[in-house]
Amino acid sequence: MMEDNYKIIQNMNNEAANILENSVTNALLCKSSEKKSLECLSYTEKLEYLLEIRKNAATFIQVQYRFRRMKRSAKFNLMVLRVMKARKAAAKMIQKYIRGWLVRNDLKFIKGIDQKKFIVWRHSGKDVSLIGSFTTPPWEEEIKLKYSKSLGKFITTILYDRQIKAGTYCIKFIVDGAMVCNGDLAVSQDISGNYNNVIGVNDDAKKLSRSISVRSFMGMGAVDSELSKHIVTQDSQSPILLTRSLSGNLDSPRGFGVVEDKKSKSPIYLIMSGSMAAKSKKKSAPLTSQGSADAYFINEELQSFGVADGVGEWATYGLDASRFSKELIRYCEQVLIETLQSEWPSIEFCDLLEQVVWEAYRRIVSYGSSTLLLAICRDSFLYSLSLGDSSFIVLRPRDGCKALSAVYRSVEQQHSFNCPYQLANLPKQNKYQELIDKGFSTLIALLKRTSQNMNDSPFDGETEMIPLKSGDIIVAGTDGLFDNMYDQDIIKVAEQVLQSYDQAQQIADVLARLLVERAVQKGWDQSYKSPFARNAGKAGKKYIGGKLDDTTVVVAIALSP
């Protein structure tokens, strides 16, 4: 490179010398034309001519040198760009072919298998295996989990590889020699005090059944601290899933979830109250339950309550939207009484609630549809079944003070925005002509345009098991409450009531009434960014203000004997 630069400069000097000579000659010729000879020029004039010539030569050298350097630099930059483009193309090829091959090779052991058939460990560990009650003999065979580098998880396809009968099984993970439970799966304690994960296998090609979704939450106190010794979660904020208490022989897949003797005293009981208001036509109109499509029941003897939200849109097709929800609630309470007053059932309470709802649903005669929330308190736990957007929230006092925090919020089920899961009873095709003759032609036209399978099943509901502590406040309601009030709004009203009242029954009565009133007030506020408006925005719809609707609230205060 140095030699090249030297040659360039040498050539330029030669060119400059030629220019100098030509310039002097031209200058002399110019002077001679003016009849001046070289001898006539003074020393100063000769020097000026010389300096001008040197200046022109230097300028020429600079221009030519920079031009050639820029040209060489441009060629070099072009070469660099071509190399970078080639490297980028090579990187893409590596990503597409080589890395893709590595990933496919890493995951070939699960190729074509439904992910619902996996048992996964996603936490830390170098060597992971599991044992369970599904092997023969139970708890004897240790099954290794394979680590996938691309997924960063340990996985076993044992449910797919073996002929495992449908049922509920207990398993436990062995991580680096230590037996632990997986916080991502349901957990239960057996009669010996041991914690185990619980999985359900159904008949659909050995697929894991729907999650039991029985949860603990932050703020459980002693329960959390005890469980944390046995359960591994991804981080300290991860929820711990609990199943119903195990009893019986773990060798049997069905030997879990048997209810204790009905004569045993519950350490927690509920003081309950409810309030309901129909959608009012005027802002100043007094609140009344007349005309509401909602329904609810409270049974303190059974320690149970239920809330149903009848779908009011059926009224536009000539149906009484309230009849279905009222029948559903009435039959739920009736079946629950019949079941619990007979021989004590030998099934777990969440399964019991599913059977109660199924039997109540079978007895309904009226046409229509409704969401449902059904709950019962037993042995310091609240067992619930929710279908649709009728929800509940559990509030807990902080360290003995009257400030509250939300420790649990039930999950709303919706097929799409403002279309919740619901139980429905619709006319069969053999009833169409009879209903048309009675004036229900618009209803029949709707049914003919849509699917006959428009309703959800009681078994599609979310069953939950929530540990309760004395002082907990359970606020349950229809979407008329939760579409207009955020959880923090509910907490604020509850704290105000706690400051003014001491008796549990008074607190429940006043809080239920106030929440209904506040929800209705929010519903009339056309500039309020309500929870309903926020959810509408998430669904890509424009909506501002509260939502006018029937509103029902049930408040339950948990107390110790």
Same domain, 304 and 430: yes
- List the CATH number of the domain containing 170: 2.60.40.10
Same domain, 42 and 121: no
Same domain, 523 and 484: yes
Identify the residue with better confidence: 533 or 7.
533
pLDDT band at 107 (very low <50, low <70, confident <90, very high): confident
Q: Is residue 253 part of a domain?
A: no
Identify the residue with better confidence: 48 or 377.
377
Q: Is residue 79 part of a domain?
A: yes
- Highest average pLDDT, of 44-53, 81-90, 338-347, comes from 81-90
Same domain, 72 and 129: no
- List the CATH number of the domain containing 425: 3.60.40.10
Domain termination site, one of 57, 86, 106: 106
Whether 115 and 151 have beta carbons less than 8 Å apart is answered as no
Containing domain of residue 53, as a range? 2-106
Whether 395 and 475 have beta carbons less than 8 Å apart is answered as yes
The per-residue pLDDT for 116 is 67
d(CA 352, CA 530): 36
Whether 133 and 143 have beta carbons less than 8 Å apart is answered as no
Same domain, 304 and 325: yes
Domain termination site, one of 67, 87, 106: 106
Residue 104 burial by Cβ neighbours in a 10 Å radius (0-12, 13-18, 19+): exposed
Question: C-alpha distances in angstroms, 559 versus 139, 150, 301, 468, 554?
Answer: 40, 50, 15, 9, 16
Q: Is residue 516 part of a domain?
A: yes
pLDDT band at 341 (very low <50, low <70, confident <90, very high): confident
The per-residue pLDDT for 415 is 85
- pLDDT tens digits, one per residue of 133-142: 888 888 889 9
Same domain, 524 and 446: yes
Structure token pair of residue 301: 């003897």
Identify the residue with better confidence: 515 or 6.
515
Same domain, 310 and 327: yes
The per-residue pLDDT for 230 is 52
- Highest average pLDDT, of 33-37, 49-53, 108-112, comes from 49-53
Q: Is residue 444 part of a domain?
A: yes
**Rounded average pLDDT over 327-356:** 83
Same domain, 379 and 466: yes
Q: Is residue 249 part of a domain?
A: no
* Cα dihedral sign, 442-447-450-454: positive
- pLDDT tens digits, one per residue of 388-426: 999 999 999 987 677 898 988 888 888 888 888 999 888
Q: Is residue 286 part of a domain?
A: no
**Rounded average pLDDT over 373-384:** 92
- Kindly give, in sequence order, each residue whose CB lies less than 8 Å from that of residue 60, ignoring residues fewer than 6 positions away: 12, 15, 16, 19
Q: Minimal CA–CA distance to 384: which of 350, 429, 435, 430? A: 350
Same domain, 224 and 86: no
Q: Is residue 244 part of a domain?
A: no
The per-residue pLDDT for 227 is 47
Instruction: Count Cα neighbours of 505 within 13 Å in the Cβ-side half-sphere.
Output: 1
Whether 321 and 293 have beta carbons less than 8 Å apart is answered as yes
The per-residue pLDDT for 98 is 73
Question: What residue type is 283 in one-letter code?
Answer: K
**Rounded average pLDDT over 471-475:** 95
**Rounded average pLDDT over 80-101:** 80
Percent of the chain with pLDDT over 70: 74
Average pLDDT in the chain? 78
Same domain, 45 and 128: no
Please state whether the peptide bond connecting residue 345 to the residue before it is cis, i.e. omega within 30 degrees of 0. Answer: no
Percent of the chain with pLDDT over 90: 30
Identify the residue with better confidence: 220 or 334.
334
**Rounded average pLDDT over 487-503:** 94
Q: Give start and end residues of each alpha helix (H) in 290-320.
A: none
Least confident stretch, 165-169, 234-238, 342-346, 475-479: 234-238
Total domain count, the chain = 3
Least confident stretch, 31-45, 105-119, 155-169, 443-457: 31-45
- Helix pair 487-500, 504-524: axis angle to 10 deg: 140
**Rounded average pLDDT over 499-524:** 95
Whether 38 and 45 have beta carbons less than 8 Å apart is answered as no
pLDDT band at 455 (very low <50, low <70, confident <90, very high): low
Same domain, 400 and 275: yes
Domain termination site, one of 56, 89, 106: 106
Same domain, 129 and 228: yes
Question: What residue type is 216 in one-letter code?
Answer: S
DSSP state of 224: H
Structure token pair of residue 507: 């607190």
Structure token pair of residue 35: 């009849």
Q: Is residue 166 part of a domain?
A: yes
The per-residue pLDDT for 206 is 42
Q: Minimal CA–CA distance to 132: which of 185, 76, 199, 83? A: 199
Q: At residue 485, does pLDDT exceed 50?
A: yes
